[in-house]
Chain A
Amino acid sequence: MDLQAVAAMRSFAVQILQVFGLLFAFALVVLVLYVLYMYLADINQTKQAIRRNFPVLGRFRYKFEHLGEFFRQYFFALDREELPFNRAQRSWVYRAAKNVDSTIAFGSTRPLNQPGDVLFLNHPFPTLEKDAVPPMEVTFGEGYAEQPYTTSAIVNISAMSFGALSVPAVTALSHGAARAGIWLNTGEGGLSDYHLSGGCDIVFQIGTAKYGVRDLDGSLSDDKLRRLAELRQVKMFELKLSQGAKPGKGGILPGVKVTKEIARVRGIPVGEDSISPNGHPEFHSVDGLLDMIRHIRQVTGKPTGFKCVVGTSDWLHEMCERIRLRGLEYAPDFITIDSADGGTGAAPQSLMDYMGLPINRSLPLVVDLLAQYGLRERVRIIASGKLLTPSMVAWALAMGADFVNCGRGFMFALGCIQAMQCNKNTCPTGVTTHNPDLQQGLDPVDKAERVASYARNLAYEVGTIAHSCGVREPRQLRRHHVEVINERGLATPLAELVPEVQPKSVIASDRGVQ
């Protein structure tokens, strides 16, 4: 009986072994044939020299080149090494978003001798907690727009269009912004229900293609503009001249990302590349720009400004002169200055890498220019471009910005891992893809909380920097609170490099009257 069972088991085992042996032999034969095929295919093709000269082995180069990206990121890249955002910066954002402890120990890993690095000057008697005050409220368009907009939020969500971002991402941003009391810029892709769903303040961006407010032949429709302005949530309008990723080129949404819903919101065909013109066809001069801004403000009754990357600055002089000449009602209520080193958008590499001035040059330039013409109180300045850590925000405030817009910081809060595939519809975290399988990883409820936490923690730590500098709130930071390391590795006062400018109305009138 026992023997029989053993024999049965034995024969069963032998059978299994035979099957596996057969499978192994088959796999071996297939492998040999496959290698032979690869060899022949490589020497017969003419497209890749490496494969032709080193058949089969040459293929590893392409595999490794692809894998190297991941190996570098996970195993070899140092904390302060990666671009555009290194791991130290990203970790800070992730921790802030998750609302976990963000303190570090055993000293700074930041080399404190690199030219251009920023140091804040601490005060011997820092602001005590009981003396600290919340950030000052700032009003846009007071006295000029029918419905001025007042807010105390410092860091807000920068322009990222619906289309570039996915439905759950926009939903999460909207809810998170509402909870943190900050505004959400729609980007140029029009206003969708998802922007409104959370109930946050909205800044509506008018792109060069006028998505969301365009009439049939693609120009600005006053009716649609008026209807948008009737929404209470929409607080301001921003006319986009250029964006950091591609100064001189319009928005690009690859066809693969133009789904039915996005096409409806934008008013364009499904599946075709959505390419905005590189400028507004309505105006070609500073006067035209000022007219357009005034027109939008009159139609909507809400503060209106523009966004641009600063390159040449002659036109800024001209603009200030024209404003002085024509009257303050022609002035933009705010200017958003975008750094030229690229943002969330898809852009040609040459424009992203080389075109326009970075924020550390353009921000003081515009601030000083406005101060020079006495427009500093009339025109608010919003700075944007990689300002996602408290130190960078504090730097921008000290330099003279009233607000900071941040896009990618909030993307990190949404779960972005800097896979850099925003333009391919293959975003692994669901932030910039319309593939439902990938989107399902992004839970809008959970991520809304992270967005809000990130905004709060960021504002809190900017406050901490301000208090260490001995001022009561962040907007009191000035250039004399900052030193910058020069090319010899020594810290130099920022106020010496870019001295504060006093209004010089004389000059303005001199130059204005010709």
Chain B
Amino acid sequence: MESADSVIRLVGQGLYMAVAAVAGLALARVLRTDNTLGCLLAGVLAGMLLPVMDFDTGLRTQNLQALVFFVILPVLIFEAAWQIEPAILKRWLGPVLLFSTIGVALSAILIGLLTYYGSDYHRGIPWIAALLTGVILAATDPVSVVCKLRAEAAGEDLITLVEGESLFNDAAAILLYSLTLGVALQLVLAGGAGSGEAPGVGAVTVFFLATFFGGVAVGLLCGLVTAIAVLLLRSAGAALLVLLLAAFGSFYLAEHVVHVSGILSVITCAIVARICLREQQSSFLVHAAPTWQWLSLIFSALIFVIMGLLITWEMFTQLWLAMIVAIAAAVGARALTIFMLAPLARFIGPPIPKEWRLVMGWGGLRGVVAVALALSLPTELPYWWTIQSMVFGVVLFSLLVQGTTCSWLLGKPRLNGGNLNGGNVSGGNVSGGNVSGGKGPADSRE
């Protein structure tokens, strides 16, 4: 009987979260804001309701990491990788890889340094915590920018560049996050044991390389198997099932069975499958795009509901200075990274026009992946709450300030790659933002 109870309890908990997510979308519709903000509010409200209803969501800081990593991230990442046009990504692969490797590392280190020295007088964060913050905040998530770019009918190139950069940034940040978290946990444990010796650089490098290439290899195999399965089953419904299985399966296989990077596995799997199945776009995969749309909509809504549940007033009253430091660090590091690396892009790919750099810099919002990573911080770290607060602060700033002002930024420059005619085809209404409430960040990636 106990197992039946647990199942029923699980269903109830799931339903509670789903209802909160839908309520969040409804809130967004009523308040005419981004879906993310609506879900955040819904999460806060749901959190207030919990004590009144005496309901247990089943969410624990201990199981959040597994939930985020094994359930939510695979879907979000697979969806993002699936949406990218391979041919255009190929053209911009050089700059994208530049930003997602050197760029992410640079931005993580910069944010780490800035928060470390910025918070030194205030709260004394250890350097590894600062670095962890930097890594979490290196993951950019320009959904609202991309959404507005699409509304503006900007060139497919800019959209692909922004989306591709974000996707690979996320992958690199998640990879670095796992690595840094491992080091941090080891430091904490070792500190507890009294012999504070950091793991050797060589060992870390080997581990990193094995994780990296192992993830890509598993993803490659999964992608091929996915394509083969879709072609064998020869039905649109079965294809969706296979793709969903591929998203979860490739992550699970890589992360849990082979112990390599699951995120790279998911990305590789999605891209390989998309390339292999390009001829089936209109036959077996007709329903793939809408399916991924609603899946990523529900999961990004969930992430923000959870964030709303966990966000507390104390975060702002106690850590407001750290938040401000983190916000300044995040925005500054992003700008610095873009303006340092963008001029180098022309050596390994097409040059990036000046207007695009502005969009990429200010449009480098922190969103769902940063929240997901912050949520999955283990409580063994004494400073987890500080990091989480700082990340939440930055994400809130992103949503409230950057997300709303970037439409103004997009209105000004010509974004169609210097096309003399196509500049302002879509007319003036850019400040309208999300007039139709359904036009949220998640459902607009097509």
Contact = CB atoms under 8 A, between A and B. Distances in A.
A6 B342 CA distance: 50
A45 B280 CA distance: 7
A417 interface: no
A274 to B, nearest CB: 13
Given A30-B221, A41-B276, A260 B418 contact: yes
A270 B228 contact: no
A272 interface: yes
Contact of B228 (A26, A40, A260): A40
Given A34-B224, A37-B227, A270 B420 contact: yes
A47 interface: yes
A77 interface: no
A263 B220 CA distance: 44
B276 A37 contact: yes
A269 B421 contact: yes
A270 B225 CA distance: 44
B314 interface: no
A271 interface: yes
Taking residues whose C-beta sits less than 8 angstroms from the other chain, chain B's interface range is 10 to 19
A5 interface: no
B224 A269 contact: no
Contacts of A271: 417-419
B231 A44 contact: yes
A1 interface: no
A34 B206 CA distance: 29
Interface string B278-317: 0110010000000000000000000000000000000000
A36 B232 CA distance: 10
A80 B231 CA distance: 50
Interface string A125-158: 0000000000000000000000000000000000
Interface in A304-319: none
A270 B227 contact: no
Nearest to A22: B217
Contacts of B227: 37, 40-41
Contacts of B217: 26
Contact of B419 (A30, A37, A45, A269): A269
Nearest to A269: B420
Interface of B: 217, 220-221, 224-225, 227-228, 231-232, 234, 276, 279-280, 283, 417-421
14 contacts: A26-B217, A33-B225, A40-B228, A40-B231, A41-B231, A41-B276, A41-B280, A44-B283, A45-B279, A45-B280, A269-B420, A270-B419, A270-B420, A271-B417
Nearest to B234: A44
Contacts of A40: 227-228, 231-232
Contacts of A37: 224, 227-228, 231, 276
A3 interface: no
A227 B179 CA distance: 68
A41 B234 CA distance: 11
A220 B232 CA distance: 64
A36 B418 CA distance: 44
A29 interface: yes
Contacts of A270: 418-420
A30 B418 contact: no
Nearest to B225: A33
Given A37-B228, A269-B421, 11 more contacts: A33-B221, A37-B276, A41-B227, A45-B279, A47-B279, A260-B418, A263-B420, A269-B419, A270-B419, A270-B420, A272-B421
Contacts of B224: 30, 33-34, 37
Nearest to B230: A40
A263 B421 CA distance: 12
Task: Name the residue among A37, A270, A272 with the largest chain B CB count within 10 angstroms.
Answer: A37
Nearest to B226: A37
Contacts of B231: 37, 40-41, 44
Nearest to A34: B224
A36 B417 CA distance: 41
A36 to B, nearest CB: 6
A33 B227 CA distance: 10
Interface string A223-240: 000000000000000000
